[in-house]
Amino acid sequence: MTTAVYNDDTVAAISTPPGVGGISVVRISGNDALRIALNGLAIKTLKPRYAQFTHVVDLDTDEILDDVVVTYFKAPASYTGEDTVEISCHGGFSAAPAILALYYRLGARPALPGEFTRRAFVNGKLDLLQAEAVADLIHAVSDTGQKLATRTLSGKLSEKVHALRNELTDIASILELELDFSEEEITPLPHEEINKKIDEAKTHIFALVDSYSAGKILREGVLVPIVGRPNTGKSSLLNALLEEDRAIISHIPGTTRDTIEESFAHQGFLFRLVDTAGLRKTQDPIEKIGTERAYKTLGDADMILLVVDITMTDGYAFEKQFLSRYSKIPVIVVYNKIDLSFDLPVLDAEISIAVSATHHQHLDVLLEKMLSTIQLHYRVDGSTIAITKQRHKHALLQVIEALNCARQAIFQSLSNEYIALDIREAINALDDITGHTTSEDVLNNIFDHFCIGK
């Protein structure tokens, strides 16, 4: 668990990954950052926002630890909003740890995970959405995920949430104003008009809730189970799309007994392919476990590749039943083994394609269909603004619940005091998203998942 954060002390940490590299950065931040930094440098002054070459010197031995470039950011014009000194030294396993150890002796304490960003949040440099976007940017798994995190960090999502807050604040203010004046002094806003304003706000909130699926895909990648009956070529398709022999291929049905997940990038999106056991009734206990895991993976899927052996002659009854069962998830029917048959089925161009996984035929068309399916179904493009965390979605659903209570209060002809109270509950839920009223426990949980040095 994270211990308490003391915002009046000075912390230090290495802000670059460990290992061999050209440069490592030691960051020092806090009220005493400048004095502590200068105590270990060969120079005695630092000009704000200028990079200066000097040495880090161990005062006990007068030994030079490294040649460095130092930059001083004077509060509040720094990442954390505090005095901050960044020391760029040689990379590797020795220089940065030695410099950091020196500054611990000189009075800085080790920074907690995410403490620099938490201080930026506490000091008003970032709201909580932007702070979370810092971690998303660091851990981005695709170009589209990186761009979404950058847009959120720039404040695009925060602007949407603040606009919603302003809408609700206007409604609450009108209701509370009417409480302070009699009907002779002001003309009350009709309840029909209040209902209209609430419904407009709910429309915008539902749009943000619906963006969660897109945000999750951009942040984590598209989860794509490859499913079908045994021996349809699921593993062959996985290997073909990955362009490597990742899964064992055999003509014996039931070869795949467990799920295998591998990822590849295409046009900025990360696709997380999952090879699964063949879907069929079986008495084999191991194969049965594999089938159960396949169905479990389907429950988490963002898109499904349903692989069909084109040489089958039973009318595809299983596939038709499957499509009806998973009608809410985008499914691409992949008719495989076209190299073994001249008798192609009538294809639905919207959801199906014929390929040969073994001979890599039409895989480029399949990739483009996968890409366009995701873009259309989840409405994602280069300018998507979306929520990415379950806590965002949960808070927005709380907003909707509070607004529904407000509408119910209006329907029951309750006084404006009760209606305004529900609106204020909705505003508080929005404030949880941006961090205006977020509890300490939630903040600890968020920043505990940051890396040390950020």
Query: Three-state secondary structure along 253-302?
Result: CCCCCCCEEEEEEECCEEEEEEECCCCCCCCCHHHHHHHHHHHHHHHCCC
Mean pLDDT, rounded, of the chain? 87
Q: Is 159 or 247 the better-scoring residue by pLDDT?
A: 159
Q: What is the pLDDT of residues 423-452, one digit of tens each?
A: 999 999 999 999 987 778 878 888 887 888
User: Can you tell me the distance from the alpha carbon of 132 to that of 149, in angstroms, rounded to the nearest whole number?
Assistant: 9
Measured at the CA of 32, the angle between CA 26 and CA 37, to 5 degrees, comes to 40
In terms of pLDDT, which residue wins out, 126 or 253?
A: 126
d(CA 227, CA 183): 66
Lowest pLDDT segment from 55-59, 230-234, 315-319, 426-430:
315-319
Q: What was the pLDDT predicted at 291?
A: 72
Per-residue model confidence (pLDDT) at position 100: 97
User: What pLDDT does 256 receive?
Assistant: 47
The reported pLDDT for the residue numbered 310 is 87
> pLDDT at residue 382 above 80?
no
Average pLDDT over residues 207-225: 93
Taking the alpha carbons at both ends of the chain, their separation in whole angstroms is 17
User: HEC string of 318-330?
Assistant: HHHHHHHHCCCCC
Q: What topology does CATH give the domain 11-125?
A: Gyrase A; domain 2 (3.30.1360)
pLDDT score of 321 more than 60: yes
pLDDT score for 7: 62
Q: Indicate whether 254 pLDDT > 60.
A: no
pLDDT tens digits along 144-155: 999 999 999 999
pLDDT for residue 288 is more than 90:
no
**Band (250; pLDDT cuts 50, 70, 90):** very low
DSSP assignments along 90-149, one per residue: E-SSSHHHHHHHHHHHTT-EEPPTTHHHHHHHHTTSS-HHHHHHHHHHHT--SHHHHHHH
Which of 143, 141, 103 shows the shortest CA–CA distance to 9? 103
Break the chain into its structural domains and give their ranges.
11-125, 143-217+387-448, 222-378
pLDDT surpasses 60 at 413 = yes
Percent of the chain with pLDDT over 90: 59
Looking at 10-19, 272-281, 401-410, which range is the least confident one? 272-281
pLDDT at 249: 44
Q: Which of 98 and 313 is assigned the larger pLDDT?
A: 98
Instruction: Check if 143-217+387-448 and 222-378 are the same fold.
Output: no
Q: What is the mean pLDDT of residues 206-220?
A: 93
Residue 372 has pLDDT above 60, yes or no: yes
* Residue 101: closest CA among 130, 68, 65, 153: 65
CATH 3.40.50.300 fits 222-378, yes or no: yes
Distance CA 23, CA 78 (A): 21
pLDDT(252) > 50: no
Query: CA–CA separation, 370 vs 303, rounded Å?
Result: 8
Question: For residues 381 and 315, which has the higher predicted lDDT (pLDDT)?
Answer: 381
Q: Give the tens place of pLDDT for each residue, 12-51.
A: 999 998 888 899 999 999 999 999 999 999 999 999 999 9
Establish how many alpha carbons lie within 13 A of residue 142's alpha carbon, considering only the half-sphere containing its beta carbon. Answer: 22
Q: Which residues of 147-158 are buried (b: 16+ CB within 10 A; e: fewer)?
A: bbbebbbeebbb
DSSP class of 18: S
86 vs 278: which has the higher pLDDT: 86
Which positions ≥6 away from 282 have C-beta within 8 Å?
Answer: 254, 288, 291
Q: What's the pLDDT at 206?
A: 95
In the prediction, which pLDDT does 247 show? 46
Of 33-37, 193-197, 365-369, the range with the lowest mean pLDDT is 193-197
pLDDT given at position 183: 55
Q: State mean pLDDT over 381-403.
A: 93
Q: Token pair for residue 211?
A: 């963006």
The pLDDT score that the predictor gives to residue 255 is 43
Domain 143-217+387-448 -> CATH class: mainly alpha
